[in-house]
Amino acid sequence: MTSPNLDAAGRYPAGSAAFPHRSLTGLAGLAPWEILFLLDEAEQWVELNRQPHKRNDRLAGLTIINAFFENSTRTLLSFEIAGKRLGADVVNMHAAQSSVKKGETLIDTAMTLNAMHADAIVIRHQSSGAVQLIADKVDCPVLNAGDGQHEHPTQGLLDALTIRHAKGAEFAGMRVTICGDILHSRVARSNIHCLTTLGAEVRVCAPPALMPADIEALKVHPFHDFDAALVGSDVVMMLRLQQERMSGQFIPSPREYRHLYGLTLDRLAKAKGDALVMHPGPMNRGVEIDSNVADLAQNASGARSAITTQVEMGVAIRMACLDVLTRRTRGLEGWA
């Protein structure tokens, strides 16, 4: 990837010029080399996480607060593991057990966390834009762990890292098909921003009711026919129906949805023979994806599921993001 920020040998500039942002609230607008910098930073943590001893104490003495206003398994646990493996003190705030339940506002909650001198705050919230609101108020870096229908940037990054491990470093010329509830999906948005920025061709497929009206503005190719969308796909990324964000009926029935948009083994055969199957989780097996596809180790033509690899890459990406975004706090040379 050519870039005015890379030298002739393809090295990143020293210090904060490689990633000059205080927070990570989304992937929209990031330069390709900024995304690649985070992916490259994550590689050392992929290696470390595969060792029996998984500690590197570069964040020792720092406090990271995970403030989750929505449920999570993968994102919350992987941010917690990431912070702990880097030696930070990690505290989790679950909104259901917090003073949010007594009517405290989001801003007052954020100012309370700020007063505790957190060195990074990780936030998941049901409202699009809530994370940016907090990032504008507090003194430390803020990492978006998913806000409403807006973005889930570390998911986009971990998905790109998973694809790079499976398919190689060249995203240009790669065809990625994302199928499911595109309308309500922050995962879809972050993946679209990430993958189109890196040069991949992105197809999105959904029933008309679950396709955003402005989808063409995101530089993707929209489809309503899943079989047609799959043709020539290197990667097939499935999304669940986000019932918690739906008011009213968006699909006739889960059975009909599966018939038209579920990923079965037969349907997977329409993609490239060695297609990579992905799903951010949580999955609704038997609706958007069949179990024999979700658990596919590798078939005769090389197609396989990368769903557990996505989870593995999630820890490494979150370690990279926490490390990079706290470099100013730690006074690293070039990051002051």
Q: Write out the residues near ligand CP by the rule CB under 6 A.
A: 72-75, 146, 152, 155, 280-282
Q: How far is the CB of 325 from ligand CP (least distance, A)?
A: 19
Exactly one of 25, 63, 75, 109 is catalytic; name it: 75
Sorted by sequence, the CB contacts under 8 Å of residue 51 that are 6+ apart come out as none
Q: Is the peptide bond before 282 cis (omega within 30 degrees of 0)?
A: yes
Quick one: 141 or 153, whose CB is closer to ligand CP?
A: 153
| Residue 117 annotated to the active site | no
Which of 58, 74, 84, 270 is flagged as catalytic?
Answer: 74
* 124 is annotated as an active-site residue: yes
Tokens of 207: 């029933």
Active site residue 74: yes
Q: Which residue carries 């995304």 as its tokens?
A: 35
Q: 34 Cβ partners below 8 Å, 6+ apart?
A: 18, 19, 21
Query: Of the two residues 146 and 180, which places its CB atom closer to ligand CP in the complex?
Result: 146
Shortest CB 172 distance to ligand CP, Å: 26
Q: Which of 25, 109, 124, 258 is catalytic?
A: 124
Q: What is the rounded radius of gyration, in angstroms, for the C-alpha atoms of the chain?
A: 20
CB 86 within 8 A of CB 319: yes
In whole angstroms, the minimum distance from the beta carbon of 226 to ligand CP comes to 21
Query: How far apart are the C-alpha atoms of 126 and 33, rounded to whole Å?
Result: 30
Q: Which residues lie closer than 8 Å to 328 by C-beta, 6 or more apart?
A: 16, 22, 141, 335, 336
Contacts of residue 325, defined as CB under 8 A and 6 or more positions apart, other chains included, come to 21, 22, 23, 24, 120, 141, 143
Closest to ligand CP by CB, 44 or 126: 126
If the CB atoms of residues 125 and 272 are measured against ligand CP, the closer one turns out to be 125
Active site residue 270: no
Instruction: Tell me the closest approach of the beta carbon of residue 239 to ligand CP, in angstroms.
Output: 10
- Return the number of the residue (74 or 221) whose C-beta is nearest ligand CP: 74
Angle at 134 between CA 129 and CA 138, to 5 degrees: 155
* Minimum distance of ligand CP from residue 308's CB (angstroms): 13
Q: Which of 2, 53, 101, 102 is catalytic?
A: 102
Please say if 264 is a catalytic residue: no
Catalytic residue among 85, 125, 150, 152: 152
Q: Which residues are catalytic?
A: 74-75, 102, 124, 152
